[in-house]
């Protein structure tokens, strides 16, 4: 047994069997009809059953999934910063995280469109459930990441294992990796890198503080959505958290995945930021371990937040929250009315929630990126 078999994605030799399982799953007809509406289920099934390598699955199936999602729920997908990517270098893409599936999935499509290899993708163990999800995910270069639990010793072991695997993929297998800057999605619009993530990166190279980070070629990625995926669901969760400990309901993750896919998102922009360089890391190596982690996280945050592609929605929300017209030149009255109409859907929860608090939370989701960008570009 390979030391990473418990978390790694499939390799090419395992794809054929995975495709047979996917094609025979009871949910297959629904998935096939959504992704390929112009083909019969049997035509799609035959295509799936003929795939025997990861590349063909990603190009032939997952790329088409992304195109379908883009066509149905995204008015414009743009990107920038390709000049920061060296085709002969592997990167650890560290991204802000707004949607369970789309942040990484859309990035893969952009890489394919630019004739670049796709990345390995971290995927929460809480989501890697059910044979169909496992087969699709592991055939799409997704690997399992454990969430923090109550057993500190076990989480330390899992973190070390993950750190060693990421370093192995980057330095030995010569493949790039995508990972979110924190555990779980940002719900309040404030994107900040978890210092624990930086510490996890370093665990597999404890003998050299500089190389523990510089060898990974960290390239921050800034993802901006005109309409925040699951904005209402995030608002309701943040409201519930104000009232006490929050426990996810059964099927909540699946609901968020489907809502994120189906909900109109307007314009989406993905910006590849300048990679962290060894000269800018070097001054921090004399700091304590905790301060070193904090400074590296800060470098990533500055890259991500300063490269936001803000939209009228962000400025409208900021002005509504502050009760001012500070950013009124960035939007029209029609755009403001459209935003207010969108926010009015919160009224259906007025009987069970304080509507003013709900609105304040909702506005924060859109307004906070304005403050974050301003903080890091000043």
Residue 82 DSSP code:
G
Give the C-alpha separation, 60 to 138, whole Å: 16
pLDDT computed for residue 333 by the predictor: 97
- Domains, the chain, ranges and CATH? 76-309 (3.40.1130), 313-377 (no CATH)
The arithmetic mean of pLDDT across residues 212-235, rounded, is 98
Helices assigned H by DSSP within the chain: 12-24, 28-35, 41-49, 54-57, 63-73, 102-113, 131-139, 152-171, 195-202, 209-214, 231-243, 252-262, 278-281, 289-306, 312-322, 333-343, 355-377
| Digit-coded pLDDT (tens) for 267-307 | 999 999 999 999 999 999 999 999 999 999 999 999 999 99
pLDDT computed for residue 250 by the predictor: 82
209, pLDDT greater than 90: yes
Local confidence band at 216 (pLDDT 50, 70, 90 cut-offs): very high
The arithmetic mean of pLDDT across residues 178-183, rounded, is 96
Local confidence band at 127 (pLDDT 50, 70, 90 cut-offs): confident
Mean confidence (pLDDT) of the chain: 95
Structure tokens at 100: 């369970």
1, pLDDT greater than 60: no
Give the C-alpha separation, 46 to 101, whole Å: 26
235, pLDDT greater than 80: yes
The arithmetic mean of pLDDT across residues 250-267, rounded, is 90
Structure tokens at 250: 């059964």
Distances (CA, A) of 199 to 34, 96, 160, 223: 41, 17, 10, 23
202, 163 Cβ separation under 8 angstroms: yes
244, pLDDT greater than 90: no
Local confidence band at 378 (pLDDT 50, 70, 90 cut-offs): low
pLDDT computed for residue 220 by the predictor: 98
The arithmetic mean of pLDDT across residues 119-130, rounded, is 89
The arithmetic mean of pLDDT across residues 112-140, rounded, is 93
Q: Is 115 helix (H, G, I), strand (E, B) or coil?
A: coil
Give the C-alpha separation, 248 to 114, whole Å: 38
| Digit-coded pLDDT (tens) for 307-351 | 999 999 999 999 999 999 999 999 999 999 999 999 999 999 999
150, pLDDT greater than 80: no
| First-to-last C-alpha distance (Å) of the chain | 52
Distances (CA, A) of 107 to 13, 66, 78, 288, 377: 26, 10, 10, 35, 25
More confident residue, 378 or 18: 18
Residue 362 DSSP code:
H
Give the C-alpha separation, 110 to 95, whole Å: 14
pLDDT computed for residue 259 by the predictor: 92
Give the C-alpha separation, 51 to 141, whole Å: 15
Give the C-alpha separation, 69 to 46, whole Å: 23
SS (H, E, C) 207-272: CCHHHHHHCCCEEEEEEEECCCCCHHHHHHHHHHHHHCCCCCCCCHHHHHHHHHHHCCCEEEEEEE
Radius of gyration of the chain (CA): 21
| Digit-coded pLDDT (tens) for 72-122 | 999 999 999 999 999 999 999 999 999 999 999 999 999 999 999 999 999
């Amino acid at each position: 047994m390979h030391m990473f078999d418990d978390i790694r994605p499939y390799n090419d030799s395992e794809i054929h069997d995975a495709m047979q399982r996917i094609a025979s799953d009871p949910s297959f007809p629904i998935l096939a009809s959504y992704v390929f509406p112009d083909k019969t289920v049997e035509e799609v099934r035959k295509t799936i059953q003929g795939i025997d390598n990861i590349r063909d699955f990603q190009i032939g199936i997952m790329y088409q999934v992304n195109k379908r999602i883009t066509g149905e729920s995204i008015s414009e997908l743009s990107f920038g910063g390709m000049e920061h990517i060296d085709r002969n270098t592997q990167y650890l893409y560290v991204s802000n995280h707004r949607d369970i599936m789309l942040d990484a999935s859309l990035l893969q499509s952009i890489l394919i469109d630019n004739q670049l290899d796709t990345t390995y993708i971290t995927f929460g163990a809480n989501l890697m459930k059910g044979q169909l999800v496992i087969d699709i995910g592991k055939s799409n270069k997704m690997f399992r990441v454990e969430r923090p639990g109550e057993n500190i010793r076990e989480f330390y072991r899992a973190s070390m294992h993950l750190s060693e695997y990421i370093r192995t993929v980057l330095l030995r297998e010569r493949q790039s990796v995508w990972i979110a800057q924190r555990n779980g999605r940002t719900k309040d619009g404030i994107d900040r890198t978890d210092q624990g993530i930086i510490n996890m990166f370093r665990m597999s190279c404890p003998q050299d503080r500089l190389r523990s980070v510089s060898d990974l070629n960290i390239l921050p990625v800034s993802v901006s959505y005109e309409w925040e995926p699951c904005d209402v669901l995030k608002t309701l969760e943040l409201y519930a958290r104000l009232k006490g400990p929050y426990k996810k309901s059964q099927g909540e993750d699946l609901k968020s995945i489907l809502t994120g896919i189906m909900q109109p998102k307007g314009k989406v922009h993905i910006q590849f930021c300048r990679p962290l360089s060894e000269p800018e890391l070097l001054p921090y190596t004399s700091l304590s371990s905790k301060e070193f982690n904090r400074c590296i996280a800060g470098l990533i945050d500055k890259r991500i937040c300063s490269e936001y592609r803000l939209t009228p929605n962000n400025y409208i929300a900021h002005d509504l929250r502050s009760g001012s017209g500070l950013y009124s030149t960035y939007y029209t009255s029609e755009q403001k009315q459209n935003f207010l109409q969108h926010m009015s859907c919160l009224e259906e929860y007025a009987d069970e929630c304080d509507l003013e608090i709900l609105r304040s939370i909702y506005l924060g989701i859109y307004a906070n990126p304005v403050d974050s960008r301003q903080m890091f570009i000043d």
